[in-house]
Structure 1
């Protein structure tokens, strides 16, 4: 691994090219990754912290930038759900390798309204609804049990919609800090940080790479 090297050749990032609103800038980067057909352009590595201070991370999918934050959906009784309940402070990173871009968001996660979770759950493919409804996410289980539960629920609900389980829904991460990183040759990368001020405005500054 010590011999693995990657040189960056993309155009740089300037303060003049950035939007004053970091949420709008984030939307632009995600949209550009989607339009370019990058694999999993909305994948984000979400970090949470337990009540004992132990961090954990996993990849989830960003499903919206609205309401002043970033929205994703999961099981509330999963490990990440339990950790968010104990400590809502979270962070996530998105990395788009072909563009040499990275975005880091720091903030707090809180549940969205049940109506929003219902609307999104109903929009999911039938098989995804079934899987979410039967899964005791993060709990020990067997493949046989999971497949039996899928067969049982498919028999009970042979077509969509499947009722949304109460333990499944959305979170919105309200950011206090957003960083935009852009690779440059010789590791002299461009890096800008937005931090929310007490009056709700954003302060932007360049950081050393």
Structure 2
């Protein structure tokens, strides 16, 4: 298995799926700071409002992973999603291509995929504990964050990416009425445990854990 290439393919597939769509509803821009142009900020703000309604509509119909994939039947201009939809589309690609040893990292405020062959990942970890896998060929696929890197480097990459976003003025919604600087959002990613769920086995087949997770 080539974990590096598979993780990159999964990320790229998901990001291409959402290209030229409304994309996410939880990324926007501050009008008071940042290097992004005013036209870009206004466009993202308008798109995020439409995406908010679309994501809510899709999630009202999710009751398992198969129904989650109804998003794939939508025309490109009607697509929208946050991290759950982004990694879900990547998982779909993984199943179709029988990519083995895909894991889902689930934090209370974010989720992404990891390509990790046996012996696999502990059931729970903090982001700071990712460093214990430095000698393993484990790779992160985070299409929402547009990150593809070795697992032990993910915390650093997330910090760098959020700093770049903040310099542009990008903020992350905390709820419908509040947003926060990207770096503050990233700092909260380091707080608390992430749980890990194996999505495909050594043969690239979906695991029972996948359907258990998406049926919760």
Report the TM-score range of the alignment, normalised by the length of the smaller protein: under 0.3
Query: Normalization by structure 2: what TM-score?
Result: 0.27
Looking at both structures, which has the greater relative contact order when contacts are Cα pairs under 8 Å and sequence separation is at least 6? 2
Structure with the greater alpha carbon radius of gyration: 1
Query: Normalization by structure 1: what TM-score?
Result: 0.28
Identify, as 1 or 2, the structure richer in helix.
2
Identify, as 1 or 2, the structure richer in strand.
1
